[in-house]
Amino acid sequence: MSVGVVKNFVAAYEREFDFYQAAARLCSQRCESLLAGRGVRAIVTHRAKRSAKLLTKLLQRDVKHDYQDSQQIRDDIADLAGVRIALYFPGDRIRVARLIQDNFAVIQTKNFPEPGKKREGKRFEGYYADHYRVSILDTSLDETQKAYAAARIEIQVGSVLMHAWAEVEHDLVYKPESGRLSEEEHAILDELNGMVLTGEIALERLQRAVERRLTEADVQFDNQYELAAFLYKWIRHFSLNSEPPMGRVDILLELLRKADLNDAAKLRDVLASLGPSVDGQTVSDQIVDAVLEKLPELYQTYVSLQTELALPVAYDQSSSSIRARTVAIGSFLSSWIVLERTFSIIAGKMSSPGIASRIIAINFLSSVAQKLKLSREAVNTLSRARTVRNQLVHGIEIPNAAYLDEATSELQTVLAEISSHPDPAVRAAYEEASRPLQH
């Protein structure tokens, strides 16, 4: 055994504890914001591993691994910083998987129960959950937070029932101070596991019952969770293939309220007007497009909602940092909306339902720019700007203020080129697009 290596590692970890605690908090807050924005009900918690528990765990694992240095321990222990997502509905695990893949740098994924690992002497399969070893994306952090991108964090995703059972089982079975369990105690834990698995089936039925109630009744949506449940039911009815990404349901809900469309009956009419799903568009994006085509006077309201809600309150930033990023988001989106309206007017599609919004959605930006004979630099800038726009609208890797300011500056260079275009029709379109829409 390499007890000295283990003790030295734990001593070093105690000095780094605050770093891992802060990294776990940032990750937890980001997860909570992402889940709420997409209408996924969950309880999110976080922690950095306590040094006493870490020492016990490492001494147990050292018997098998015979640690030779601290790096070997770091590679082995995934949960120095940990986040737990306890889902109300276990069926949301697939949706959460997509969120994590889109918004973090995923290093490793483990799905439980692991294939081929049967629990000897047990009737039930045990722990059902997904574990992700991740790091926070560097570009989503402000300068004062960049160091936390180096932290490896374990995100555990399972149902509220499964997490509760796993906590009890782990403390009794794997903690030496609990003593060796009797055959009867193991049997009771197995019995409880069966009850939990049955409970998860009941939770899935409950989720479908909620969706059915919201679909069959003409009710108002009180929160983004009810709106998301309605939309997931609608998606499954029309989509035979994989489920498209939901997008920012919280922003959509606020827009529907502003448009007086926040009930099932009115929303069905909007959904009926949607065309085929467009690659790269979320469900929320498609509905927003349809609403704004019907009520273009809400465009600036939508920009304000994006600015207000796109930034996760997650990142525990200073007030000045939050203000800087909020201002940067608003500046970029305001410039983007002018560009989008300009191109729609130029294409002569603003009054044609289902077409104008898709000019942007299906990546026609470059082709329209080329037809206008804009410079190569402008065409390349538009491609980059569309990526930033999608990051803000979809909640994928919200960029930091400096990155957004640079993107806004580049976009304004394109707008300046359009505003001085030799074709008077193009200049007129830009002038019209730049005027505030009246309510």
Q: What is the DSSP string of 212-223?
A: HHHHHS--B--S
- Tens place of pLDDT per residue across the chain (439 aa): 578 899 999 999 999 999 999 999 999 999 998 999 899 999 999 999 999 999 988 998 888 889 999 999 998 998 999 999 999 999 999 999 999 998 899 999 999 998 877 788 888 989 999 999 999 998 778 778 889 999 999 999 999 999 999 999 988 887 656 578 888 999 999 999 999 999 999 999 999 999 888 887 778 999 999 999 999 888 877 664 567 788 889 999 999 999 999 999 999 988 887 765 555 678 888 898 788 878 877 877 887 787 777 665 444 455 677 778 888 888 998 898 888 888 878 876 444 444 344 434 434 566 677 778 888 888 889 888 888 887 776 655 678 888 899 999 999 999 999 999 999 999 999 999 898 755 4
pLDDT in tens, 239-295: 645 677 888 899 999 999 999 999 999 999 888 877 655 556 788 888 987 888 788
Considering Cα of 137, then 252, then 283, then 212, what sign does the dihedral take? positive
| Helix residue spans in 137-182 (DSSP H) | 160-173
Q: Is 387 within 8 Å of 363 (Cβ atoms)?
A: no
CA-to-CA distance for 110 and 29, rounded, in angstroms? 22
Expressed in percent and rounded to 5, the helix, strand and coil fractions of the chain are: 65, 10, 25
Per-domain residue ranges of the chain: 3-204, 295-434
Helix axes 264-272, 224-238, angle to 10 degrees: 40
Residue ranges of E strands in 92-210: 104-112, 129-136, 153-159
What pLDDT, on a 0 to 100 scale, did the predictor assign at position 356? 40
- Please state the φ and ψ torsions of residue 40, each to the nearest 5 degrees: -105, 120
Query: Residue 327: its pLDDT value, please?
Result: 86
Question: For the range 340-343, what are the long-range contacts, defined as Cβ-Cβ under 8 Å and sequence gap of 24 or more?
Answer: 341/299, 341/432, 341/433, 342/415, 342/418, 342/429, 342/430, 342/433, 343/368
Measured between alpha carbons, how far is 325 from 145 in angstroms, rounded to an integer? 14
DSSP assignment of 378-433, as one string? HHHHHHHHHHHHHHHHHTSSPPPHHHHHHHHHHHHHHHHHHHT-SSHHHHHHHHHH
Tokens matching residue 102: 């889109």
**Integer Cα distance of 248 and 37 in angstroms:** 5
Residue pair 362/394 in contact (Cβ under 8 Å)? The answer is no
**Which amino acid is residue 250, in one-letter code?**
D
Radius of gyration of the chain (CA): 25
**What pTM does this model have?**
0.78
- Asked if 66 contacts 2 with a C-beta cutoff of 8 angstroms, the reply is yes
CA separation for the pair 403, 143 (Å, rounded): 11
**Predicted pLDDT at 355:** 38
> pLDDT tens-digit profile of 313-344?
444 455 677 778 888 888 998 898 888 888 87
In the chain, the amino acid numbered 311 is L
State the pLDDT at residue 214.
86
Residue 178 confidence (pLDDT) = 59
pLDDT at 142: 79
- Name 202's Cβ contacts closer than 8 Å, sequence gap at least 6: none
The residue count for the chain: 439
- CATH (one of 1.10.10, 1.10.357, 1.20.120, 2.60.40) for 295-434: 1.20.120
Helix (H) or strand (E) holding 84: strand 81-87
From 148, 144, 13, select the one nearest 83 (Cα to Cα).
Answer: 148
| 3-class DSSP assignment, residue 55 | helix
Distance separating alpha carbons of residues 200 and 198, to the nearest angstrom: 5
Burial of 124 (0-12, 13-18, 19+ CB in 10 A): middle
Q: Does domain 3-204 have CATH number 1.20.1740.10?
A: no
